[in-house]
Amino acid sequence: MLSKFPYLRQDFLASIVVFLVAVPLCVGVAVASGVPAELGLITGIVGGIVTGMMRGSSLQVSGPAAGLTVLVFEAVSEFGVATLGVIVLFAGLLQLAMGFFGIGRWFRAISVSVVEGMLCGIGLVIIAGQIYAAAGLKAPESGIGKIAGLPGAFADALGNTTALTSLAIGAGTIAVIVLWKKLPKAVQTVPGALAAVVLATVATLAFSLPVATVQVEGLLGVIQVPGADAFGELASPAIWGTIIAFALIASAESLFSAAAVDRLH
């Protein structure tokens, strides 16, 4: 057994750490995407099992990513959660077809600066949206609306004790993640993201702070198997535009991440 898996002990310990970091990240990405937190946990479970059974690279890790959050939020707002499963299914099939025909090499024609600009734009929208969530305020639906509405959101937060408390917890979490890298190597054995989540949670419970918490009520109850109505949406040209956008952006992120690792290696 050990001869087949010489690094079983190290891999097991690493998997525990990844699990502890990935679980809150799955929940956070799900909430930011406009779907129930339970769906983030289900996605993390299924994704972990599927990707864990596939051979990968020792220099990369598979896990929840926020790059498609904006697209998922817009897709859910327009088509609903049940249709999201159909969109992801056909986007995955499209990616498999693209891989079979070797279309990935065409991405070499795209400038790295274009992809970086796209990711920066998505990142700005995600950051803006999370500022509303950190303050316990309702965020506008559009990306431009989120950014343009920040001054008004800060003005509303200044007169609200609950919003200020929530912002302080969020800022403290960010500070822990940033400053964790300055601590001794022995302390850094615990990932900074995990330490930040634990410390923020303990502080909230210890001082009974009036901040909103994520509600998880059960996994099986939120699963919505796509029905005939969801598949019927495929007759709309708009959903195919969303499917193609999912497939292309997800593929571009994966390919350019691999290229960046190659350069580092």
Residue 203 has pLDDT above 80, yes or no: yes
130 pLDDT tier (thresholds 50, 70, 90): confident
In a domain, 84, yes or no: yes
Helices assigned H by DSSP within 33-137: 37-52, 69-79, 81-100, 112-135
In a domain, 17, yes or no: yes
- The pLDDT, as a whole number, for residue 91 is 92
Q: Find all residues with CB under 8 Å of 211, minimum gap 6, and list them.
A: 136, 162, 165, 166, 169, 204
In a domain, 235, yes or no: yes
In a domain, 169, yes or no: yes
In a domain, 148, yes or no: yes
Average pLDDT over residues 176-195: 84
Number of domains in the chain: 1
Residue 216 has pLDDT above 80, yes or no: no
**143/200: higher pLDDT:** 200
Helix (H) or strand (E) holding 244: helix 237-264
- Range of the structural domain that residue 222 is part of: 8-264
> Which three-class secondary structure state does DSSP give residue 214?
coil
Give this prediction's pTM: 0.72
First to last CA, the chain: 31
Q: In angstroms, rounded to a whole number, what is the distance separating the alpha carbons of residues 17 and 116? A: 29
Q: In this structure, are residues 177 and 192 in contact, taking their beta carbons and an 8 Å threshold?
A: yes
In a domain, 2, yes or no: no
Render pLDDT for 164-178 as a digit per residue (tens, 0 to 9): 888 888 888 899 989
- The pLDDT, as a whole number, for residue 243 is 92
Closest CA to 212 of 119, 122, 135: 135
In a domain, 1, yes or no: no
Helices 8-32 and 192-206 pack at an angle, to 10 degrees, of 60
In a domain, 207, yes or no: yes
